[in-house]
Amino acid sequence: MDKEVTFFLKYSDKSNFFIKILLIFILFLIFTLSGYAERDYEKEEKIGRRLAESVEKQYKLIEDDEAIRKVSQIGEYLKEASGINKINYQIKIVEREGPNAFALPGGFIYLTADLLKYVHSDDELAAVIAHEMGHIIHQHSIKQLQDKQKLKLVELLTILVTGDSTLGILSELASITILNFYRREYEEEADFTALELLQKSSHYHPVALLTYFERVSSEDMLKPDINLGIFKTHPDVNERIEKIKQYLNEHNIPLNRRLTTNYLTVRGDYYQENIMFIAQIMINDELILSFAGEDEEVLILKMYEVLANFNHSLRLDLAPYELVINSSENDDYATLNIGGEEVVSLIRKDVQYQGITPLEALKVTREKIVQILWRLKLKLPVLLLRE
């Protein structure tokens, strides 16, 4: 074959090959980029507004200025943490039985008045709101409906906005959101989004999502007939709790449940009796320790030091062996250590008015703490299952 013809054929083959590669690349870009169409936040808000009008006809809105300011402020902090400004969150409180919450597309979030009474802290309230924000951020209700209707997202949004009642899909969307009929993977994604928002926010602690889950799960075990709302136990709740704990551990976030609950409240007080000043240390309003002194200022300083030590060392998951008492040979001096750290030290003069030794006083303190922790765990059986 002629050299020029041979060269031309080889060149043509190479040209065709590169043209094919280029065409494949262009088609790939077309199909890929078409899946990343700009999100239509306005349509989502219109859909949410239509549903919101129906919700507010069904449930009475609570007009509590202080509570509304609180949830609105939480919403602003979490929105800032999300970095998404195009969602206009509107958080309202409704009269509906049980601690509950639900979210509509476009930023509409409803909390029940019972939820605000049920949470232990603003952190837990923020955790619930952040969870609902997760559903909105990821378009969970619309995506779940899209999966069922086998429609493209653009088509579904158009139908929902125009309100084509022949398909009845607006009522289906309402069922998903108001009754919290989300798929398992969507619930988990909302959980992780909530944890991320809480972690990014400097105002709330991520462990709040864990404490809320654990308490609702425990109360469902003890009172299965009570309406416990959005996190009511179902087969996968324990797995979700474990995944939340895993997230907290992986991000080096301490599982200090006292940060977001009132499980172990420590307080102190003192009074005068004759020439003595007597300090009292209480956990959950139960007296665990008393000591005395003749100098009021010195006694107060010691009381605050002991309170600070307890607040630092107490944990819900403390084991009895972590509470250790050390004493001198003649029992004139004794200390109580929690987790290897000294919490309180007593000399004979501190407890002489009670007719006991420092060792005896701290043995009583240790026993009362163990009892308080055990009673708490009986109220939270989900923790006992994980020991």
Span 311-350, pLDDT tens digits: 999 999 899 999 999 999 988 999 999 999 999 999 999 9
Count CB neighbours of 378 within 10 A: 12
Residue 385 has pLDDT above 90, yes or no: no
Average pLDDT (179-197) is 94
Q: Which helix (H) or strand (E) holds 88?
A: none
Percent of the chain with pLDDT over 70: 85
Instruction: Round the average pLDDT of the chain to a whole number and report it.
Output: 87
Q: Do residues 88 and 107 touch, judged by C-beta distance below 8 A?
A: yes
Residue 180 has pLDDT above 80, yes or no: yes
pLDDT at residue 386 in the model? 61
Higher pLDDT, 36 or 211: 211
Average pLDDT (52-56) is 93
Q: Beta strand pairing status for 101-104 and 108-112? A: antiparallel
pLDDT at residue 166 in the model? 46
Task: Name which of 184, 225, 246, 213 is nearest 382 in CA terms.
Answer: 213
Residue 20 has pLDDT above 50, yes or no: no
pLDDT at residue 224 in the model? 64
Render pLDDT for 93-127 as a digit per residue (tens, 0 to 9): 999 989 999 999 999 999 999 999 999 999 999 99
